Chain A
């Protein structure tokens, strides 16, 4: 039973990075596919599409920082806290990366034929990034209250 509890603690430590990276992979994949499609329709300005497509990468960086903050000797006392905080942070980062990937794809699709909307069309993706930052910041704050 004790080993099972310790396992959940380790899961909590690595979840923000693992789930955040999975979300980034899928999110960047969505944006990248849209960028590749848009490149078939336009004659110039390919670089900005690639830049927008890479936006969901940040969730992996947040995941790395949260993982390093949660990293500590795992015990029966701190495993439940590590598990809940780590897994929920990871799930939030995963979903935000997926949503951001779709928003980036929509932005690329819209701006390929109407270049003047490029700036405003990435606003939804930036707002989604804001929610991911909330999760990231408050995960760091709460990590301090988990016993070492």
Chain B
């Protein structure tokens, strides 16, 4: 269970906040005119059928980033990625990665995006624990600024966070219905919208590049669901076809 890893001590701001304050005025705002122009447009993942760029091509493009930005992006991707997390990764390890990412990442929008994604994951953990009938979690179970609020408002269906996370009621409905695809679509849509807002505010900045990389990841994941579905259907059709052959030669 993840504790409140962001707390440095009584009355003191977290360590990463103090580091951020020290570097806020010294972080360069790099512009990536060539890189952004070399990226294809990404339409809403729910209406896209083909991945507009291969992973190899994406890696080639991202190689144009400044080494510092590339390092920050790679660290953030390990937390924000929709690809399946390693099973043996513990909550404590994820919390440590989150803390390290927040301390090391120079770009404010990237930190905000990682924080947003991890808050969503924390709330989802709480919703799932509650649905399993568990009591108030203790120790290390989530990350971010809302773990204490969730613990203290455990009996509230929305943990007192309905104003901050208005999507919680909808997520609860999907959980109750066992609609994993609907829930995934909702959560991916939240991050997609957030990334679109970040990219629109910083044209040709690093923000536009990492927003593309994260959106590409969402799209890649979403299309893989369709591929799995298609494979199941294909297997079913093959089975039906071979069954007919068996009948013919019977």
Which residues in A have some Cβ–Cβ distance to B below 8 Å? Answer: 30-31, 33-38, 40-41, 102, 105-106, 108-109, 112-114
Q: Which of B31, B37, B203 contacts A38 (CB 8 A)?
A: B37
Apart from A33-B33, A34-B37, A41-B38, 15 more pairs, CB < 8 Å: A30-B33, A33-B37, A34-B33, A34-B36, A37-B36, A37-B38, A37-B39, A41-B39, A102-B203, A102-B204, A106-B203, A108-B37, A112-B37, A113-B40, A113-B41
Question: In the complex, A109 Cα to B31 Cα: how many Å?
Answer: 14
Q: Knowing A34-B34, A37-B33, A37-B34 are in contact, say whether A105-B40 is a contact too (CB < 8 A).
A: no
Total A-B residue contacts, Cβ distance less than 8 Å: 44
**CB<8 Å pairs between A and B, sample of 7:** A34-B36, A34-B204, A38-B38, A40-B38, A102-B203, A109-B37, A113-B40
Interface residues on B, range: 10 to 19
Provide the main secondary structure of the chain A interface: helix
- Chain B residues within an 8 Å CB radius of A105: 33, 36-37, 204
The interface bits of chain B over 25-44 (1 if a CB of A lies within 8 angstroms of the residue's CB, else 0) are 00000010111111111000
Measured CA separation A31–B204 after assembly (Å): 11
B36 closest partner in A (C-beta): A109
Nearest 4 CB-CB pairings of A with B: A37-B37, A37-B38, A33-B33, A37-B34
